[in-house]
Amino acid sequence: MKVVDLNLPYKGDRDYLHGTDMYAETVRVLNGVKPEALIGKCRMVIHNVAKRQCRLLYTFLSDTAKRPENIIAEFNFISDTGNLMAWLVETLEDITERIPYAESHITENCVLSEQSVKLICRSGFSAIEELVAMNKLLHVTRYPPGESRWYFTRMDLDRLLTANDVGNLQVKLQQNLNNRLTRSEVISHGQIIGHIYFSMVSM
């Protein structure tokens, strides 16, 4: 199993690591290791909130390494070259960097309907940032969380998000389980490319 120490920042005024940065940094690191392993399906599942720095562990299923304990998030990349598994594990290291995150630059370029949200132009952010912000807008508008909070907790994609998806995304709600867990279609250029899941977490 390979281990890479990360340097993820806090985003905006949040006191936890953002799922968009977990996705982006994991893809960036693994793309530098074996890009052909990322040409295919991707599953990302976030299990816990991370308030300290994380390290990335990854392995191919042909290896004998065991799944780490106390993981924050896990990834499964399925391609013609096999399965690549990756995990984020929280360390004891404090997060020392904070970057601005004007999420409104994304949401103000969205059009809401009863069960979907669509971008009408580029926002200046990445596709994963647009996607999560769009789905969050849909949820807090249609299903206000009250004392709780909607969190991005899972994503299943037929392919990784690309720069070509930026400004061309739509999210359409498919299933809402008692305002606790939702499943929504991820649409790019009119084509369904996967699903994103949000969970309501009590604060």
Q: Which amino acid is at 148?
A: S
Q: Residue 61 has what pLDDT? A: 73
Evaluate if residue 36 carries a pLDDT over 80: yes
Q: What are the distances in angstroms from CA 107 to CA 11, 79, 98, 103? A: 16, 33, 21, 7
Contact 171, 132 (CB under 8 A): no
Q: Could you give the CA distance from residue 125 to residue 45 in angstroms, rounded to a whole number?
A: 22
Q: Residue 64 has what pLDDT? A: 60
Burial of 168 from C-beta contacts in 10 A (0-12 / 13-18 / 19+): middle
pLDDT digits (tens, 9 = 90+) for 66-113: 788 899 999 999 998 889 999 999 999 999 999 999 999 999 999 999
Sign of the Cα torsion 198, 44, 26, 95 reads positive
Q: Residue 126 has what pLDDT? A: 96
Whole-structure pTM value: 0.94
Q: Which two tokens stand for residue 46?
A: 């976030």
Q: Could you give the CA distance from residue 193 to residue 57 in angstroms, rounded to a whole number?
A: 26
State mean pLDDT over 4-18: 95
Q: Which two tokens stand for residue 88?
A: 């984020």
